[in-house]
Chain A
Amino acid sequence: MLSRRELLTRSGMGIGALALSHLAPEFASAAAPGNPLLPKQPHFPVKAKHVIHLFMNGGPSQVDTFDPKPELQKRAGESLSDGNLKTERPTGALFASPYKFAKYGESGIEVSDIFPHVAECVDEMAIIRSMHADVPNHEPSLLLMNCGDARLIRPSVGSWLTYGLGTENQNLPAFVAMCPGGYPIQESQNWQAGFLPGIYQGTHVDTKHTEIEKLIENIKNDRVGQIEQRQQLDLLAQLNQRHLETRQNEAKLEARIQSFELAYRMQMEASDAFDVSREPQHILDMYGEGTQARQILIARRLVERGVRYVQVWHGEGQPWDSHDDIEVNHRRLAKQCDQAIGALIKDLRQRGLLDETLILWGGEFGRTPVVEMPKKGSNQGKINGRDHNHWGFTVWMAGGGVKGGHVHGATDELGFKAVEDRVHVHDLHATMLKLMGFDHEKLTYRYAGRDFRLTDVHGTVVDAVIA
């Protein structure tokens, strides 16, 4: 890949380079009112600048991952005398976790043996064991977790933050949603801009692919070579400059002139950002093999380059939805991402980026501590899985000003329902915004006669998880 300077030299377009000199990006960006993605200051100063949301779509089970329940192990097979809480499907007796928990780190927080690498980082993590949502169904819960409303057209968290903060790297999309294989349930609504301008919408990247042209639209040109394209842009700059000379004080004309230079650089930068093969071998080894490792490493490369919000979906559909064979399935799913998630935290730490990167891990809800009853056409003949559970579940955060080695809240003794220091999804959103420097009641957008906000009329900041 040639640098722009090399290209200019090689293409011999000295005139073009001169014509562009007044558009040096450092200065030009300040004079580009048409670009709503320029960096902005939040309400109050904070270290956190980026978010990586590791979305375990389908709903990981809390009692099998980060919320150990000895009582559940003890009483396995027992029926609850008061009956089970209502979830999506019929459920039966208490179902012990097939995994072992052990204490890790100085904090001694217990983590299941399917997440050994993540467990090594437990002193960086604030684990919220008292999450709760509204309903036990994927669609509304995904929208609630992503957009703060179960049904209506509302901007996603990433869109809100991009709207509030702009982005630091104009050569890359501000908000990237990576999902290998296609879309999760509810598809692109999960990263929608809603009523915000469309430019704040997440850019979907199918990380099943490795070729850059399949990852970012229009990033490659197979009909005009690089040198020829540089010549085109140099001519374009001259033609636009002539046009501008008779139309002074038109910021939007200047902004568009500049956008071509941004796009030109984006072609190089995006190709570089998504190409993990440029990492040294010891880093590749640290993250491990497979799609999860690759996309989680890409996430690090993106935030390192200033991307504001990166969502990493485990996969298309709802991979963590273990209605049956949970022992095999959860172990398999955790194995796919555990090493890379642990590597991400350590890698960000060693690069000094962890404080400015907020990591969120979790699904749209958790799973029941009771077993799911078999159902024709889905988990027929299987009594070894768990149903959806919005009454109580776990998410954890790390970096970005989060209090490490901390457990917040608790579910009941069996892990069914959040009972202590309950945290609703709205509260999680309020807390994330606080960590990113915003008062969630004041980050608003006027639409249809009303000032909207991510948390609508809800949300209380969970100060206890903030360092």
Chain B
Amino acid sequence: MNRTVSNRIEQNRIDQRFAALKAQGRTALIPYITAGDPAPAHTVDFMHACVEAGADVLELGVPFSDPMADGPVIQKACERALVHGTRLQHVLEMVAEFRQRDSETPVVLMGYLNPIERMGYDIFTRQAQVSGVDGVLVVDMPPEEAGDNAALFAEHGLQSIFLLAPTTSEARAKAICEHGEGYLYYVSLKGVTGAATLDADAVGAQLSKLRRVTELPLCVGFGIRDGATAAAIGRVADGVIVGSALVGRIAERADDPASIPAALKSILGEMREALDHDVPS
């Protein structure tokens, strides 16, 4: 589970992207959408739309029947995707298709362990690498359970993104930071995705503590839903992750998928604008 050799880190799209953002003094905008929602045929278009609206990294959700850490919005997205038969295999194909037109934007697969476990770790890592996946965030695989998988992922150029929570002890945070690659996903509040409001000052205080133990970019998810919340978190974080707010808009337009790219661009554009032009007070 050691950090991989330095040349591989440099090659990884995630590290390159964060290095560039840092040089520009910008905050990463990281949208999450569930693959296959509302139907598999649209996902790649949505990914490109996100990039056109200013996304720096894409988190692509692998639908799962039992998304234990997700609120109703993403639960329903999983259900819509699964009804259409979207499986991990298809998600990897979507990434490969995305890569035909976009070889630069990092793509992180986010989801639960069982689809990977069932596919088999060897097959998954090989196919993910070929498809052009850059990172993997498995919600229910904390570092102590990652074991050999993290090393296997690294061999195939897949960075292991780990979560940190407000309840994470200092000792655990240190261990997680040591194992983490790419960026760290700070869960801003206790709860499931799509939950209520967040306190930017409290998040900022937590991130300051984390910065003492890691140099990895700190990105914040949970509770970011518009330009104002993005800007508030952007003042203290290296990246903002927006999921349920986007997935909610997809749900509203599930019957009219052609209108979804414009809707995604609208909200992401607002966030991009807020992040880039926010003057710290």
Partners in one complex: no
